[in-house]
Structure formats: C-alpha cells, structure tokens
Homo-oligomer: A and B are copies of this chain.
C-alpha cells in the first residue's frame, strides 16, 4: 500500500442533445485531480480543495468525492480512514461533469491506495453514490465516460448497463462554458414530466441515428441526429447567447450543436480537429459579443478516461 495516490478523471459532455440521461463522452485536457491518503480518523475527510473559484462544499456529506470513497471503505476496509486533496479542473455547475469527475477521481485514487483493484463496473457503482448527492437522482452519463473514457451509451438503468460506442478518430468536439452557473438539480426541475408520444418517436429516432452515425463514421447522420426535443426547449433560455452560439458553430461548419449536460456549457461536434477549433472560436466570439466570458475545450470525441497519475 502506497502512502498516497493521485488520480485524474476527465470532464465530460453528457446528454449529447438526443441522448438525454443516456449518453456522454469524456473530454481531453480538462478534469479533476484527487489525492487519497490514509488517515488515522476512520471514514473520509477532505483536507483541501483547490482550483475552483466557486464554492465547493468541504463537508464530506455534501461533496461528491466523499460518498464513493466512504462506500469503498465500508465495503473493503471497514474502520479505516482516507483523507482527500481535491484539485478542481472542471468548473462547478458548468455542465461538463464537475461532480462526476471529482467522484470518479476520488474512488479511483482510493481504490489504488487500498489496493482493492475493483472492476470498472464496481467502481462505477460506487461513484454513483456521489452523483446521487449532486443531482438527487441516479444518472451515470457523466460518471461512466469520466471513468471509462470514450463515448458511452447507458443502455439501461435497472440494472445499470453501460455500453462503449467505438467512435472513430474523425469526430471532434468543441465545448464552450459561459461564466454562469446552473445547478443540475434546478435544471432538472424545469424538465417536462411527460413527453408527447410524437416527441418520443423523434427522440428515439435521433438517439439511434446518433449512435449509428458515430459507429459508421457518417458525419452527416451524426449532424442530422443532434436534435433534442425534450430538454433543450426547456433549458435553452438559461444559457446566454444560446442561439447565437449555435448559429456561429453551424456557420463554422460544425456537424451539430447542443447543450452539454444541463448547461450552461454548450458543445458542437465536427469532423476534424481544425473544424472543432473553428467552431469553438466562433461560439466563443458569439458569446463574448454579448459581454460574457467563457472557457473553451477542443477534444476528440474518443478521449481517455480516469487514470492513476504515476
């Protein structure tokens, strides 16, 4: 057993327009780092949180990094204690899986620290404990890609059944995160509770079309499928310059555009790194024209998942 272990877990885009609660993919170059260390105090403590200007709760009962580690301890090392240093690289409330990245990095670090060598499926189950805290519901469309990398389809929730969608290297993503915060729990409250059957048909057609397009490398099909008839109509008004950024992305040649998670981040897919960079620049300019600032990520759609940092 090592004295301390640090793990990295990436940010991620979830929902992906037509894949509400069932799709997500990891992003390269942005994520949280969590260091786990054995502690004399039983249970989980947070020693430090760095890298976030927003308020991240230090109370272990309120920070998504802690419940997964507590569940791991309860299962594999009852009576022992772990303390965590969290370095946020994902903005809180930004819609790119901040709470998921913390939960995944923490449980991956703790697993390595304790030498418990759990499977991906077991780690995912534990990480879910943190996500319940963040959104009040079990959803794994950020957790699974942050843990496993790549593009993940959550085929079902009962039981959790995650499927890796083998996306080729030609799909790239641009993410723009405006400097406003949307709380996932609030963004869920404004969703419709029921959906007209006609819209279900549209949403299932697009979800199946997106997966077919990604698997067969059909960029046009991917673009035509990136339509969200459920969450976007309810949430778009929360995001500054939403339409202007979408128009800018499409004019820059993006395949499609939508809300990342519950926003305010937005994403555009493109068929090359250059195309994604062009879309990112165009979206950022459209936002800055309204006087707001943003962070920008350009990433392949197939990016690595969580890992222990040697």
A interface residue numbers (CB < 8 A to B) = 18-23, 153-157, 161, 163, 165-166, 191-197, 200-212, 215-216, 221, 224-225, 227, 230
A161 to chain B, nearest CB (A): 6
Chain B residues whose CB sits within 8 angstroms of the CB of A224 once the complex forms: 155-156, 161
Measured in the bound complex, the distance between the Cα atoms of B204 and A18 in whole Å is: 9
Chain B residues whose CB sits within 8 angstroms of the CB of A212 once the complex forms: 153, 163, 165, 211, 215
A156 touches B205 (CB 8 A): yes
A155 touches B215 (CB 8 A): no
Chain B residues whose CB sits within 8 angstroms of the CB of A227 once the complex forms: 156
A201 touches B155 (CB 8 A): no
A201 touches B22 (CB 8 A): yes
Q: How many copies of the shown chain assemble into the complex? A: 2
Measured in the bound complex, the distance between the Cα atoms of B164 and A216 in whole Å is: 11
A19 touches B202 (CB 8 A): no
A229 to chain B, nearest CB (A): 10
Which of B23, B155, B165, B200 contacts A195, CB < 8 Å? B200
A184 to chain B, nearest CB (A): 15
Chain B residues whose CB sits within 8 angstroms of the CB of A221 once the complex forms: 155, 163
B20 touches A209 (CB 8 A): no
Query: Closest 6 CB pairs between A and B?
Result: A155-B209, A194-B194, A204-B207, A22-B205, A208-B211, A207-B208
Measured in the bound complex, the distance between the Cα atoms of B249 and A207 in whole Å is: 28
Which of B19, B192, B207 contacts A197, CB < 8 Å? B192
- With A195-B195, A215-B216: A153-B21 Cβ-Cβ less than 8 Å: no
